[in-house]
Amino acid sequence: MNALKTDSNIQHETILELQVNNHPGVMSHICGLFSRRAYNLEGIVVVPIGRGKISRMWLKVIEENNLEQIVKQLQKLPDVQTVTRQPPGDSIFSEISHFFSS
């Protein structure tokens, strides 16, 4: 989860938007999946939505060959309700980037 990438990297980034159940084990399930399957997570933003039973999660990843596999594995987690892939460009990560510029 390092600072923002240079422009040339940006087109290889993908944002995954997840809707997940909100309970204490969910983050471990999701982060564990990435580390276990040797896939790098570049950034995470999570916020509870509605009355807090559900959270929305944005994951920034670099496109690699097995992204498809990771997405399918995410969809299998019982606490993950939906996974959608967003084009890079205007994402939540660019909106919060000023918190991270040094």
Partner 1 sequence: MEQLSGAQLTIRLLENQGIDTIAGIPGGANLPLYDALQASTKIRHILTRHEQGAGFIAQGMARSTGKPAVCFATSGPGATNLITAMADAYLDSIPVIFITGQVPLSLIGTDAFQEVDIYGISIPITKHNYLIRSVDELHTVIPEAFRMASTGRPGPILIDIPKDVQNSITSYDPEEQYGFFDQLQAPSLPTVEKIELAADMINNSKRPVLYIGGGVIHAESGYLARELAEKNSIPTTMSLMGLGIMPHDHELYMGMLGMHASRGTNRAMKESDLIIAVGVRFDDRATGKIAEFCPNAKILHLDIDPCEIGKLKKTHLGLVGNVRYSLEMLIPHVAENDRSSWCIHVAKLQQENPIFCPNDRNFNKPYSIILEAAAIAGEDAIVTTDVGKHQMWTAQSYPLSRPRQFLTSGGLGTMGFGMPTAIGAALANRGKTVLCFTGDGSIMMNIQELATAVEEEANIKIILFDNSSLGLVRQQQSLFYNRHIFASEYKHRVDFCTIAKGFGLKTYSIDDHHSLKSVFEEAFSNKGPALIHIPIDIEEEVYPMVPPGAANTTMIGGELTHECA
* Site of interaction with partner 1 (CB under 8 A): 24-25, 28-29, 32, 36, 69, 72-73, 75-76, 78
Nearer to partner 1, 32 or 89 (CB): 32
Nearest residue (CB) to partner 1, 34 versus 92: 34
Distance of closest approach, residue 40 Cβ to partner 1, in angstroms: 17
Count Cα atoms within 13 angstroms, Cβ side, for 91. 22
Nearest approach, Cβ of residue 39 and partner 1 (Å): 13
**Cα-Cα-Cα-Cα dihedral sign, residues 15, 59, 65, 83:** negative
Q: Which of 21, 16, 23, 65 has the alpha carbon at shortest distance from 41?
A: 16
Q: Is the dihedral of CA 6, 38, 95, 84 positive or negative?
A: positive
Closest contact distance (angstroms) between CB of 100 and partner 1 is: 28
In whole angstroms, give the CA distance from residue 81 to residue 2: 28
Question: In the bound complex, what is the minimum distance in angstroms from residue 93's beta carbon to partner 1?
Answer: 26
